[in-house]
Amino acid sequence: MLIREIPSVGGASPWGKIQAIDVVIPGRVIFASTSSHGGYWIGADLFRTLPTCAQRTPHSTGGWFEEDCDAAIPFAFLPEMGNDDSKTRAREAILHSSWYLPSVREALEKQIDLEDWRRERGMGA
């Protein structure tokens, strides 16, 4: 189930009670920390733009992306997330690690091909 309200300190996360929050994109993306773990929460508007195969993995669901296993997904697929360096590292992790589902790697390869096609034609990424 997709969480529509922005999580807050004291609220619930897949890893337990949220102890700290870092705002990544106001109203749209946060990083939540618990006593033992954490991850990114992506708001519904951005979440819906992710490829369907990347919206739910063995470690992440409902708009949450586990910090160790799936944090590369929002950085790789969402233009709003991170800088060029973080995007490159996220894409490399997905493309060259057996950790990510094959369907997620294939979706990223298609996205990169489309971005290259647009750039070659002067249409932006």
Q: Read off the pLDDT of residues 87-118 as tens digits, 9 standing for 90 and up.
A: 999 999 999 988 899 999 999 999 988 888 77
One DSSP character per residue, 61-124 reads: -TTEEETTTTTHHHHHH-TTSS-HHHHHHHHHHHHH-TTS-HHHHHHHHHHHHHHHHHHHTTS-
**List of residues 6+ apart from 45 with CB closer than 8 A:** 28
Q: What is the pTM of this model?
A: 0.87
The string of pLDDT tens digits covering residues 34-75 is: 998 999 999 999 999 999 999 999 888 899 999 998 999 999
- Which pLDDT band, with edges at 50, 70 and 90, does 2 fall under? low
- pLDDT score for 99: 85
What does the mean pLDDT of the chain come to?
A: 91
